[in-house]
Amino acid sequence: MVNRHGGGAALLDEPETIFAIVSAVRRAVPVHMPVSAKMRLGFNDDSRAEECAQAIADGGADELVVHARTKAQAYRPPAYWERIADIRAALNIPVVANGEIWTLDDARRCRQASGCEMLMLGRGIVTDPGLGLAIKVGDLSGGITWAELLPLLAEFWRIVCARLERRSQAGRFKQWLNFLRRRFPEAEVAYQQLKTVNDPALIEAWLAGQSTGR
Ligand SMILES: Cc1cc2nc3c(=O)[nH]c(=O)nc-3n(C[C@H](O)[C@H](O)[C@H](O)COP(=O)(O)O)c2cc1C
């Protein structure tokens, strides 16, 4: 929808429009407030990635996040972290690397390939909410355990119930479990138990059966 109206990744075929947008945002935002931008490598191919990044920097952005895939590559692995290094080399603003960082080892390899110290986590931190902490200390033990995660699941459920219609609540909860099960065996067990459940009362009962500290 966004792309059909010339927004989002469709802009990656129009660096001059990117420049105009970032410049307009920079003018509109108070000087003490940083402006950051995020881009993919391109729409169908990555041939204009540096040009787009340059347009963002020239427009006055203070920082750029690069999701190292084109729109056409969607969310399929791999992410082309080495292309972020090319972009970094062309710019004089800080660049943040993003895409396909699921583990400590991915973070290490991404930093090496991109030359970026700063990383942005997408699905990886949904899958392992302790991943950022683990990366910070360089050890998985710096992350969070399933026991520490349970109160967050309970809090998430509370928010889901407050904001979504009843018929969508269980599905949203299972959506997170579906990510978490890639990392936590306990989430896999829960997912198998709940995958056909649509009644919020049963999610509630499952949570009550866990020691969430509630
Ligand atoms: C739950 C979730 C919400 C996201 N929201 C946004 C968003 O608002 N804006 C955006 O540019 N990207 C958003 N993304 C995309 C991520 O920032 C990231 O670019 C993408 O997921 C690729 O990184 P990954 O391979 O680590 O998932 C979101 C991703 C996830 C998983």
Q: Is 67 in the pocket of ligand 1 (CB under 6 A)?
A: yes
- Describe the crossing of helices 185-194 and 200-208 by its angle, rounded to 10 degrees: 140
How far is ligand 1, taken at its centre, from the CA of residue 124, in Å? 10
Which residues of the chain are modeled with pLDDT < 70?
1-5, 212-214
Q: Is 129 in the pocket of ligand 1 (CB under 6 A)?
A: no
* Probe target for ligand 1 pocket from 12, 65, 98, with the most ligand atoms within 8 Å of CB: 98
Best CA proximity match to 54, nearest among 81, 16, 82? 16
Q: Which single residue is written with the structure tokens 């459920």?
A: 157
pLDDT at 214: 47
Contact 142, 159 (CB under 8 A): no
pTM comes to 0.93
Identify the residue whose C-alpha is closest to ligand 1 atom 17: 122
CATH number, span 8-142: 3.20.20.70
Q: Is 26 in the pocket of ligand 1 (CB under 6 A)?
A: no
Question: Where are the domains positioned within the chain?
Answer: 8-142, 146-208
What pLDDT, in 10s, does the model give residues 128-173?
999 999 999 999 888 999 999 999 999 999 999 999 999 999 999 9
- CATH architecture, domain 146-208: Up-down Bundle (1.20)
Q: Which single residue is written with the structure tokens 């910070």?
A: 136
Identify the residue whose C-alpha is closest to ligand 1 atom 22: 99
Q: Is 124 in the pocket of ligand 1 (CB under 6 A)?
A: yes
pLDDT at 8: 84
pLDDT at 65: 98
Cβ atoms within 10 A of the Cβ of 166, count?
10
Contact 70, 44 (CB under 8 A): yes
Q: How far apart are CA 146 and CA 149, in angstroms?
A: 5
